[in-house]
Structure 1
Amino acid sequence: METAVTPPPDRRFAVSLFSRLRTAKGQANPFPIYAELRSRGGVIAAPWGGHLVTRFDLCDQILRNREWLEPDSRWREQQGDGTRWTAPSSREMSRTLPALNPPEHTWVRRSAGMFDRTSMEEIRGTVGRITGRLMDSLAVRLRDGEADFNALVSEELPVATIGHWLGLPSADFPRLRELTHDQVFTQELLPSASQLALSDAATAELRAYFLDLVRERRAHPGDDPVSRWITLWDAMESDQDKADEAVYFLALFVLLAALETTSTLLSTMTLLLLEHPRQWNRLTIHPDLAPAAVEESLRYDPPTHVISRVSSRDTELGGVEVRKDEMVHLMVGAANRDPAKHEDPELFNLHRKPAHLAFSGGIHYCLGAPLARMEAQTLLHHLVRRFPRLTLVRRPTWAPRVAFRRPLNLDVALI
């Protein structure tokens, strides 16, 4: 049997590219840098160790194969004290659903029991009403000139939707949104010490908030997901404190998953359509293209550009040796534009049938994907009906991130 041949790592090349990726110019348009990464191969050495995976087929293979694991609490502890993986926020995230591996992942995911067909129909009316209200606010602002679509719409719809579903006070929404933006730094590719400090503080505040919520719902149960999770976990766990912890981690996961990436999807989707007037015009004439517009936006510029996994054994990937417990970073933003997968991948085209990895894959496929799609499609239907003459005033600036995209503004006007 032939042995996999590992080419000598060219980490200096990757260091140079990632230095550019972290600049304002790189944040605004990372895709030329991704193309350079792809040109060096499907699997290349990461500057900090491990590997970067740029090919669509290899990323898809890893996501669907259970031999590739989440960097769970066991793996993080092995990295040693003083690393970003053992920061308080990272330890906390290791106990949420996305960081679990089977068998624990299987029964925690099953216990979440959310966003099935019945739940989605119940939420649909709420999403429509919230979107209509936000469109009214946008209309008022546009009468006076420019409006920040990101602040007025994209940041508001996800938190109002998930907050209503969880039964949270609307007065808490602004603070929860701010905490989510800070917390996500611990999930970034290379967080700085200051970013980790922000994430640690945000995580501690979110923990206190949701544990208080669980205690309140235990004392005064209602017809809401948190109350139902308490009932479910009480039946599975005899220790009430452990049951409350499990419910807290579900609530934390739902908030983090529902806010950050969905807000980015809504703004990026709107930005892409306004940057491509022919596609926007097609959508205004044929609003039934809304689902296609959402999927093509998810392919073209997904909210999450990097997904990480670790190998459960010594293996070979794309001709490169990967050792047990070694990390691979799936460069989803690059893979979604892999010319081996898509014809004319740099073309934003509503008429393609795009395969993409925006919602991960396999057993970790995003539980909130149906809700994110619903919010995005509902928003598009409202936009094309009420604001067909919407136009982009200036390109947005972006948060200093690599893995989790986030526009800081999206200034629009009517022509």
Structure 2
Amino acid sequence: MTNRTTIAMRDEGLPFLDLAAPGFSTRSPAVAEARAAHWCARTPFGLAVLRHTQAGRLLRDRRLRQGSHAWPAVIGLEGSFASFWRRSVIGQEGTAHRRLRDLAVPVLTPDFVAGLEPAFTRIARDLAAPLAASGGGEFMSAFSTPFAGRAICALMGLPDADWPRIADDAIDLGLAMGVDGGRHAARINAACDRLMEVADGLAAAARAGRAPRSYPSRIVARFDAAGDLPEEALRDMIVISIFGGVDTTRAQLGFAMALFADHPRQWDMMRTDPALIPAAIEEAIRTRPTTTWATREALEDFEIDGQNVRRGETLHILVHASARDPAVDDGSGFDITRPRKVHFGFGGGAHHCIGHLVARSDMAAALGVLSETFAGIGWAGEPEFLPDSGNTAPRCLPLALRPA
């Protein structure tokens, strides 16, 4: 890495970061060194944006479009998932994107999401009880994954017992967001096909008047009222909601608990003052984001802060690097009590995550129950994590949890 960085600096004045290298981490010293040298770095996938000021500006720059539409092609992933991804709200831009977003955003109102909180809390209590009886366990399989799966079933109006198949398929879709996603094409496409069938069933149930207060009933009503969108667009919206709802919650909740295991005094502070739970969620995203970058693509040639960006070039806004930029961060590390600048874990601008309210709400319910149930947290073994690039998650979190 050092040699390649030196060569790249000599060639064009930019550091080089190999995002696809085995063991590469977007939180590594190499990234911090690159950030100190320049606000951006060259990568195999375009430019990496490393500083907070430029990250915020570029996420809202109209000379850029959402760049994730091209990700399947970048990693060599084809098939049903790639087609779905390109035509979904994430892959669309301009008028088509605004139309889909205008239909979806009003569905997840604060009042509607608040109405789900009792269900989220009940699910968390069901899952925390066995952990309390055993004094801990492998958190991802015992709590995080079933919690995310059951929470999305509550949102979708699905039977609670359906969570394993829904969660498994959503997690398999998450493989497409990794730099090695092309290796898992068959698994990803099969999961995508199954979730499309689930979405068709949910739409039919909504039109039949079943689960009238569910997310599908609300989104179906808006799409049907619009009257001129294909059924495929509705199906895609339901699938993207399931995917994001499961994969983001399970991974980010796991990372939050890993951080608390490393910083048990922060856990004590959250237990003492539950009002710190929202800040704890944001601090976990800054410190250990599951979505390690947000992507944009240049629609034209332009210059920003001394760097020429070419039309078609991809820019990856690195969430951790921008959040921990010394220009906006005091270097204190994981601390849920410190006021911080906004992070970009949910993106920004026209493509800000539609489901961020749900993600924040269900994680808050989970942390609330866990902090009530457990007086202490620590490690019961060695954790394992997916590569810290692209979309990442804990593989195994053996936690020791002392009941309150």
TM-score bracket for this pair, using the shorter chain length: 0.7 to 0.9
Partner of 1:353: 339
Separation in 2 of the partners of 1:262 and 1:162? 10
Q: 2:126 aligns with which of 130, 133, 138?
A: 133
What corresponds to 1:8 in structure 2? 11
Matched, 1:270 2:257: yes
User: Of 153, 175, 194, which residue of structure 2 is paired with 1:205?
Assistant: 194
Q: Does 1:119 align with 2:119?
A: no
More off after superposition, 130-139 vs 305-314: 130-139
Q: Does 1:57 align with 2:57?
A: no
Q: How many angstroms apart in 2 are the aligned matches of 1:76 and 1:397?
A: 26
Show CA shifts across 1:244-293 (max 9, x none). 21221111011011111111111111111121122222222222222221
Q: So what's the TM-score if we normalise by structure 2?
A: 0.88
Structure 1: how far apart are the matches of 2:217 and 2:187? 30
Are the counterparts in 2 of residues 267 and 410 from structure 1 also a CA contact under 8 Å?
yes
The change in CA–CA distance for 1:372 and 1:233 in structure 2 (over 3 A counts) is closer
- Asked whether 1:109 is paired with 2:114, we answer no
In structure 1, what is the Cα distance between the partners aligned to 2:127 and 2:116? 17
Task: Within 5 Å, give how 1:137-176 maps onto structure 2.
Answer: 137-142=130-135, 146-176=136-166
Instruction: Select 2:207's aligned residue among 188, 211, 218.
Output: 218
Question: Does structure 1 residue 309 correspond to structure 2 residue 302?
Answer: no
**AA in 2 matched with 1:39:** A
Which residue of 2 is the match for residue 38 of structure 1?
35
Structure 1 residue runs of 5 or longer lacking an equivalent are: 1-5
2:322 corresponds in structure 1 to: 335
SS of the equivalent of 2:17 reads helix
Give the stretch that moved more between structures: 200-209 or 220-229: 220-229
1:65-89 deviations in Å (ceiling 9; x for gaps): 222101376x689x7xx97365542
Aligned residue-pair number = 391
- CA gap of 1:245–1:348, structure 2 versus 1, over 3 A, is same
Per the alignment, residue 279 of structure 1 pairs with 266
Matches within 5 A, 1:248-263: 248-263=235-250
Rounded to whole Å, the distance in 2 between the matches of 1:87 and 1:316 is: 36
2:5 paired residue number: none
- Runs of 5+ unmatched residues, structure 2: 1-8
TM superposition outliers: structure 1 runs of 4+ over 6 Å: none
The TM-score with structure 1 as length reference comes to 0.86
Provide the C-alpha distance between the structure 2 equivalents of 1:102 and 1:314, rounded to a whole number of angstroms. 18
RMSD: 2.6
Q: Distance in 2 between matches of 1:83 and 1:117?
A: 37
Whole-angstrom distance in 1 between the partners of 2:217 and 2:268: 45
Amino acid corresponding to residue 207 of structure 1 in structure 2: M
Alignment-derived partner of residue 382 in structure 1:
369
CA contact (8 A) 1:226 1:247 kept: no
C-alpha distance in structure 1 between counterparts of 2:197 and 2:34, whole Å = 42
2:378 is paired with a residue whose SS is strand
* Structure 2 Cα separation of the partners of residues 376 and 260 of structure 1: 12
Match for residue 277 of structure 2?
290
Report the AA paired with residue 177 of structure 1.
A
Equivalent AA in structure 1 for residue 92 of structure 2: L
Percent identical residues:
25
> Cα distance 1:265–1:76, how it changes in 2: closer, same or farther (>3 A)?
closer
2:400 is paired with a residue whose SS is strand
SS at match of 2:317: strand
- More displaced 10-residue stretch of structure 1: 246-255 or 96-105: 96-105
Q: How far has the Cα of 1:395 moved from its partner?
A: 3.9
Deviations 1:99-155 (A, max 9, x none): 22121222211212232122022111111111111111222332xxx4111212111
Q: Mark the CA change 1:14 to 1:204 in structure 2 (over 3 Å): closer, same or farther.
A: same
Q: Which whole-Å CA distance do the structure 2 matches of 1:276 and 1:222 have between them?
A: 42
